[in-house]
Structure 1
């Protein structure tokens, strides 16, 4: 404790605190507006108390280069959090595909995390994904990941971004995100396509039937049945989604740290 209150540890403490706080502001679990800001700051503070004692002893001074290190920590924390949120947002993209086929595209809800409108099924998938992440102790893995970032990206060293590598990494991450989104949405979207095909055949063979009146409730009914049947598949895809998220964070830290 005496070593901890030494004033020489204050620059290191601030750098660690800034990276953790920037990470917690963006990650899917703690970035909700409903979570109080003092809670995020307090959690970052006490987690920093633990991490500072485990990091190699580093002596830093409050000078101009320290401001650059502070900005570097903010950028790293935001990048790690943003990439993790970007991968998890694949479930909302899948929900958008499903809502468009179900006819729910005009009935969006307000996302409490961003304040923007999001698809109903996408928000439903997103909540289940977060609950699944908590059930497998994914929040502990995120904390372990931010701890590992200090091993791969030291706080006392500046970083040089390879612009081409970063761009290719972002493109690859986007590709993986959309692949998972299509895998989540394809069972329901495929069944609804068959329903549309059947309704088109009925409209041609029985012109007296108003398929527009029958089609919408029928598609909603079929969608909920298929959603119930394929829920186990969605859980397995959620596992793959979070595995991709952790691999993406590890790859990003390797890219930034030059490991």
Structure 2
């Protein structure tokens, strides 16, 4: 939960996050054999803790991919508008980011909680105990965790490009228009006006299409397909 942007330190404090971990983990603990607790001491306890931490990090990275892509698209847009030097604190993580990246990240975070994304994330978490039960030392499909993580993170830059492509096209057309106009009237220095125009167009497009963005990216933001992809990978691994 520390890796996942909607539950990062800036949005959920340590006490709240620890309480959520205990609440969600209690369902897993309740379903374990009674004798399993007796074996959790010394080395087995450390191995079990490290194993669950690795699974949590992998699932956190896989679920965070769409949020990182959205933030990357915002940074890409600010690069094209010329406002990438304007930095502000991202309240989700307490780090410096560009204005559009921060705005899109906050919109995605609100959409995640509003549309019930945590329900799908918990479904994926509990699904992971089917292919690696907590009582087993090794997973039932050893290559699944690696293949699933790679499949989720491999297309990160493709997601960034697809999210930013419509606005990139408009901003590039503005650059071309000012370039042609400046070539025809070189004494007017029109290229200096392109940056404020691109900034105004970016704000206008964000205001007009942020609802469309949320609607189109709803499945990805709420992670509704994450559990399905995990099941497909597990079935493919079991058949292989």
Please, what TM-score do these two structures have when normalized by structure 1? 0.78
Q: 2: CA distance between counterparts of 1:239 and 1:151?
A: 27
Structure 2: gaps spanning 5 or more residues:
none
Quote the residue 1:141 is aligned against: 120
Aligned equivalent of 1:205, options 173, 177, 184:
184
RMSD (CA atoms)? 2.8
Does residue 45 (structure 1) correspond to residue 27 (structure 2)? The answer is no
Q: 1:183 to 1:232 in 2, by over 3 A?
A: farther
TM-superposed CA distance for 1:244, in Å, is 6.0
Does residue 28 (structure 1) correspond to residue 5 (structure 2)? The answer is yes
Equivalent position SS for 2:160:
helix
Q: 1:50 to 1:254 in 2, by over 3 A?
A: same
Q: 1:186 to 1:129 in 2, by over 3 A?
A: same
Q: 1: CA distance between counterparts of 2:5 and 2:19?
A: 18
TM-superposed CA distance for 1:212, in Å, is 3.3
TM-superposed CA distance for 1:91, in Å, is 0.2
Aligned equivalent of 1:57, options 24, 33, 36:
33
TM-superposed CA distance for 1:201, in Å, is 0.5
Equivalent position SS for 2:45:
helix
Quote the residue 2:199 is aligned against: 220
Equivalent position SS for 1:26:
coil
Show CA shifts across 1:93-149 (max 9, x none).
110110011111101222234433222111111111111111211112222322222
TM-superposed CA distance for 1:231, in Å, is 2.4
CA contact (8 A) 1:94 1:185 kept: yes
Moved over 3 A (4+): 112-115, 160-165, 168-172, 243-246, 252-255
CA contact (8 A) 2:78 2:98 kept: yes
Structure 1: gaps spanning 5 or more residues:
1-23
How many aligned residue pairs are there? 232
Please, what TM-score do these two structures have when normalized by structure 2? 0.83
Quote the residue 2:86 is aligned against: 107
